[in-house]
Amino acid sequence: MTVEKFELEMNRLKKQWPSTYSAERLGLLFKAYRSTPDSIFERAVTKLLLTQRAAPLIEAFEKAIREAHNEHAEEIRQFHARQPHTPFEQLEAAAGMNSGSADPGFVKDCLEVLRSFMTGKITKAEFDATCRLLDEAAVSLMKAKRSTNANAKPRGF
């Protein structure tokens, strides 16, 4: 954690409990928590402000930082649990998005061809030929987009 972030967060605590944090105590707290990420320390201080009746000391800091770490780890775990993992899941997720570089219609077409091949509805040769056609269509679409962007006028003209 940066010194500036530590001072900012400790000032939040000092506003609540003005006479508790001497320079020596601040120095000891900084040494104890300087390796704590800024966001975790901020979250811990917020938790302390919300839950402590008296000025928090080392035991309360330990608990708040541990809880902040655990909450952050859980948020990351939940985020990754929502993400597509297999290439097929990633393609399906891309097909549902309206942002990014992939055209959703194109991605859906690719998925349909892939499903057809995986279920045996089309042969490998048909799959390859369809993929080549889709690749050619994608190249044509990109060229058309580039020429449209090149001819675009700045706003206000």
Q: Each residue of 109-145: pLDDT tens digit? A: 778 888 888 888 989 888 888 888 877 877 777 777 6
Contact 44, 60 (CB under 8 A): no
Expressed as residue numbers, the domain containing 113 is: 87-151
Tokens standing for 157? 């003209």
Task: Tell me: do 91 and 74 sit in the same domain.
Answer: no
Global confidence as pTM: 0.55
pLDDT, tens only, 57-82 = 999 999 999 999 999 999 988 887 77
Task: Tell me: do 111 and 145 sit in the same domain.
Answer: yes
DSSP type of residue 89: H
| Total tally of structural domains belonging to the chain | 2
Task: Tell me: do 65 and 96 sit in the same domain.
Answer: no
